[in-house]
Each structure stands twice: as C-alpha cells, then as structure tokens.
Chain A
Amino acid sequence: MTQQVPGSPAGEVTATSPAGGPPPPTDGPDRPVPHGSDAAHRRLLRRQRRSRWDLKLSPYLYVSPFFVLFALVGLFPLLYTGFLAVHDWNRAYYVRGEYVGLDNFTWVLHDPVFRKSLVNTFSIFLMSSVPQVLLAVSIAGLLDNRLRGRTFWRMSVLLPFVVAPAAAVLIFGSLFADQSGVVNGFLRELGFDGIRWHVDRWWSHLAIAGMVNWRWTGYNALIFLAAMQAVPRDLYEAAALDGAGRVRQFLSVTLPMIRPTMVFVIVTSTIGGLQVFTEPRLFDDTPSREGGADHQFMTTTLYVYVKGIEDQFYGRASAAAWILFLIIVAIAVLNFALTRLLTRRSAS
C-alpha cells in the first residue's frame, strides 16, 4: 500500500548500508575519521546505530498509539461483550455468575420485545435508507451541473447536518406532535383525521425515518456529487452524440460510473441506519422512554441500552448487541454483493 518511488526511497538511505561491515559515514560526505581518535569513531557508530533503530522502530511507534487505544476502547469492549453474553450476572452485586452458554441468546431471541425491536429497526432502516439514497443521488445529479453559486448550493444542502440528532428529534417532535403538531393541523385543515405519530407503529417509524433522512440526505448527496465529478466528461459527449438525452445519460453513464460510491454509501448507511438510538429514545413522550408505551418504535440499540444500562442485565444486553452486530455484518456483506450485481447489470 505504501507508494514508494523505486530506486532510493526515503527511509532507505541508511538502511542500505551493509549490516555487518563497517558503516560508511553518514554525517557528511566523506568526512575523514581521524586515526587514533577512538572516541569520535565510537560516537559516529553510536549515532549510526541510533539512526538505524530510529528508522526501524519509528513507524511502529507512530501507529502504536492508535492500536493501543483502539484495543482498549474498541476491540476489548467488543470481545468483552461476547464474554458477558455467555455468563450469568448477579445484578445486585455486579458480580459475574456462572458460564451459561447460549442461554442469554436464547432468552433474548424469545423475548417478544426484542423481536419487536428487530422489526422496528428494519422498518425504520428501510424507510430511511431507500428514499435517502434515491433522493441523494437525484440531488447530486442536480448539483452536478455548471451552477451559478456552486459553493452556496453545496453548503445549503448540508445545513441540516449541523443540527444534532437530539435537537432534530425535538424539532420534529413538535412538528409531528399528535395533538398540537403543525403536520396534523394541516391534515385536519385538509379534512383528514390527524395521525397519531407517537402511537401508531408504522407512522411513528415514518416520522423517525423522516428525521434521519432530513439530517443525512444532503451529506450523502455531496458524496455522490464527488463521485459524479470524477466521471470523465467525454463519456457524456459520446453519449450525447449517440443521441442520449440528459436523463438517459444520467441513467446509463452516471449511475454505472459511481457504482463504488453507491456501495460505499449504502454500506455505511446500513451500519448507521441499523443502530438508530437517539431518535426513538427522544421521540417518546411517555415517561419510560423505551420507544413508546408499547415499544412500538423501540430499536434494537435502544433495547441494548434499556436492558444493559438501565436494567443492568449485562448478559442479555450483550447477547442482543452481538445479534445486532452479526445482522449488521451480514447485511453489509449482502448489500455489497447485491449492489455490485445490480449496477453491473444496468451497466451492460
């Protein structure tokens, strides 16, 4: 992965000196070592040895803080989750009980609340990711023009990104309030019944997906835009010569060309979208804050929080976390394969 220039790469200057033989002086070209001055010679040797160690060890030294810290706060906790998941936990004394094998997994998988949370997670994920990607690609297509005020437009689509999810939920919570909300106000004005956004399962999912989409669509549009701008312009000229209109060009030139980015965005939004937490927790207007009175919009990450942090069932929470983790990995891989397959077909 390192892209060294062949020949005499930077780091190799001193390393090429033969390990066994007397090292050539490196301090200056051909500085003569005074005969009899043993001390000077030794100093030189020492410096050289130090330089060689410097060269050998430095890279490891530079990357080690990352790996040490990551092992501490990333890898270890993840593995420890696995350990927690196969043990019983005495909640009163915070002490580990005996090894229980897959009992926690079985318990969680049979818990109707957990199952519900899985369905909710998927439902919210689908409602957010699919429209989001479609809209983001379209916005990117619009931005990929010779616009006046390019920077202005690009910054404008990114505006919602500066609103933290917690703030976004509160704003949307007021818009979608069941009684006093403006959205319902307009619906009633138009002669419809108000929708119980906080009560009805699928409507609440739609409201939550709306917040997620609101915050991330512009962000993803910029990523797509970057990919579109890397498409060679003569491809469009060729397509235009063949009589392809703008929409046709977009479908048969742009989309196939941004396939890798498509995969990237879909995979990252899968990883993020399946872990939605802030929105379902704060959208709840019941005191328990477990994703609605009937857990109708509790996501699995929220389930892990409630079980692990609030109720202190470490084993069950960890089992749930691992199940979600495996699902995320499986879907990311599936997405990756599927997107490649589909876009390849549309390209040919």
Chain B
Amino acid sequence: MNRRPGFLVYGLLAAFVLGSALPLYWSFVIGSHTKAEAEQFPPPILPGGHFLENARKVLDTIDFWQSLANSLIVSTACAASVVFFSTLAGYAFAKLRFRGSNVLMGFVVLTMAVPVQLAMVPLFILMRDYQLLDTLAAVALPTLVTAFGVFFMRQYLVDAVPEELIEAARMDGCTMLRTFWTVAVPAARPAMAILFLFTFMQVWTDYMWPLVALDTKNTLQTALDALAVTGQGQTTDYALVLAGTGMATLPLLLLFVLAGRQLVTGIMQGAVKG
C-alpha cells in the first residue's frame, strides 16, 4: 500500500519489535547479576556488573571454547559443502538440458518436504556401525547436501545467467566445467552467500542431531543442555544458565549485525520465487 503510514503503524511495529527483543534482553540482564539478585522480585531491569564472574563460572562448568570450535567447524563444513554441491546441481537444473532433468528436479522438490529428522534411529545405527559416533564427521554428514539448497540455487540461476554468456563461453572452446566456473559461479555469488549463511545458521542452531551423534563431545547447543542440568535438584542458577545462553548466542548475534541485511534479502527472495 502506497500511502505514508501513520503513528499507529509505527507504534504497533515498535511494540512487536520490543516484545520480541525482550527475552533476549532479559537473558543479558539476568546473566549479568548474581544468583541472589536474579531471584529477586521485582526483577532487575538493567544489566548488572557480574557478567564476567558468571562467564568464568560457565567456562568452569562446560567446555565452552571447545564446543564453540566444534560448532564452528561443523557449521562451516556443512555450509561450504551445501553451497558447492547446490550451485553445481542448481546450475545443471537451471541451464543445461539433459534427459530426465524434470523428473530429477521433481524429486528434489519432493524431498524438501521429507522430514529427515524422523530418520534419526537409522542414522544413529549407521554412524555406530561405521564407528563415526562421537565424531564431528557424524554431526556434519546428514547436512552435506540439502534439497532446499539445490532448489534455491536453481531458482536463482534461471534468471541470473544469460544464455548468451554460456553460449559464448562454449563457442570459445570452454569445457562445461570451465563454463560453469567462469560464467555461472560469478553470477551465482550473491545467492551462494545467502545459502551459506542459512545453512550455517541451520547447522549451528540444531540441537537434536548433535545430541544423538555425540557422546563426550559437545556443540554449543548440547553444551547449553549440559549447563542447564548442572544445578539439578536445587533451584536452577539462572544467572549462570543465562550467562551461558548469552555467550552461546553472541556469535550469531554478531553474524546478524554483519549480515542481517542479506538474511532478510534471502528469506524474501526464497519466498517470492518459491
């Protein structure tokens, strides 16, 4: 709608945004107070000065840095793999003619709707039989490719690469792979960045699969789990738990500040074309 909106629109939006920022703010407020302060009512409403103290306790309780490194490794590996294979396949589906391409693409779309999580038991057995349990490889394996990635790259590349360019490259004697590399990849770069971001976040925030696949090791999410149960039996030390939550959320928050714009673009792009 084209008219300049009035105060009501801004007011409602602001209320929604404040409301959704509140829980996050809350975790930083409580995470920076002592246990005693955190349990008061009315609760503190401003950040306190005990965050470092709580953070040190978090570092003593869980292997935070190792978990952070594990999350980074797994998320980066999956994101890189998904981007590479999706661009390759997406390009083939968008721009190359081959027998069976429609059927295969239909299959990709169909698999997008299949909830892979439900296969956790056989995946667990598979990892166990190949002695991969409790390795980072086991965490990464199920997300090395995603149907969504292929679909997303195909949708993008259909419009992003002009036929004439491919034709010209072929005329110049480029092999197919070289054509892909010199023509399609540069054109696909914005979509590749977005897909990387999404896959990275998806793997980073996943809790269930690392819980199944890992035993002694942790990703950030399973480490948070461990932090939450330390105080079992007594009242939970929410100052400690929420300090840990804040620490675990900071990396993605940073990513959001740096690349939130791309994230928004990606969601909106995926939607219109999907």
Residues of A within 8 A of B (CB): 1-5, 8-14, 26-27, 51, 54-56, 58-60, 62-63, 65-67, 69-70, 73-78, 80-81, 84, 94, 139, 142-147, 151, 153-168, 170-175, 177, 179-180, 182, 185, 189, 214, 217-219, 222-227, 229-230, 233, 236, 246, 249-250, 261, 264, 267, 271, 275, 277-278, 282, 285, 287, 301, 304-305, 308-309, 314, 317-318, 321-322, 324-325, 328-329, 332
Contacts and interface: CB of A to CB of B under 8 A. Distances in A.
Contact of A275 (B113, B118, B222): B118
B121 A226 contact: no
A76 B123 CA distance: 9
Contacts of B23: 160, 163, 168, 171-172, 175, 214
A185 B97 contact: no
29 contacts: A10-B95, A10-B163, A10-B167, A10-B170, A11-B170, A12-B97, A63-B89, A66-B86, A67-B104, A70-B111, A73-B116, A74-B116, A77-B116, A78-B116, A81-B122, A84-B122, A155-B260, A155-B261, A158-B264, A159-B256, A164-B204, A164-B220, A170-B245, A177-B236, A246-B1, A250-B1, A264-B274, A305-B120, A308-B124
Given A13-B167, A63-B89, A214-B23, 7 more contacts: A8-B167, A11-B96, A63-B104, A144-B1, A146-B5, A162-B249, A170-B224
Contacts of A166: 205, 207, 221-222, 224-225
B126 A77 contact: yes
A74 B148 CA distance: 13
B2 to A, nearest CB: 6
Interface string B118-149: 11111111101000000000000110110100
A142 B13 contact: yes
A218 to B, nearest CB: 6
Contacts of A165: 205, 207, 221
A66 B108 contact: yes
Given A164-B221, A325-B115, A58 B177 contact: yes
A164 B91 contact: no
B104 A2 contact: no
Q: Which of B118, B158, B180, B212 has the most CB of A within 10 A?
A: B118
Nearest to A78: B119
B272 A226 contact: yes
Given A185-B43, A226-B267, A226-B271, A73 B98 contact: no
B49 to A, nearest CB: 20
Contact of B208 (A60, A154, A278): A278
Contacts of A76: 122, 126
Contacts of A69: 85, 144-145
B272 A78 contact: no
A60 B89 CA distance: 9
B119 A147 contact: no
Contacts of A94: 128
Nearest to B19: A214
Contacts of B229: 287
A287 B98 CA distance: 56
Contacts of B113: 267, 271, 329, 332
Interface in B187-233: 201, 204-205, 207-208, 211-212, 220-222, 224-225, 228-229, 232
B267 A219 contact: yes
Central interface residue in B21, B94, B95, B177, by most chain A CB within 10 Å: B95
Contact of A314 (B26, B121, B167, B271): B121
Given A5-B163, A158-B264, A321 B118 contact: yes
A146 B98 CA distance: 45
Contacts of A151: 261, 264
Given A153-B17, A160-B23, A171-B242, A230 B272 contact: yes
B118 A325 contact: yes
A60 B270 CA distance: 25
Contacts of B274: 264
A163 B28 CA distance: 13
Closest 4 CB pairs of A and B: A77-B119, A164-B205, A10-B166, A226-B268
Contacts of A51: 175
Nearest to A322: B118
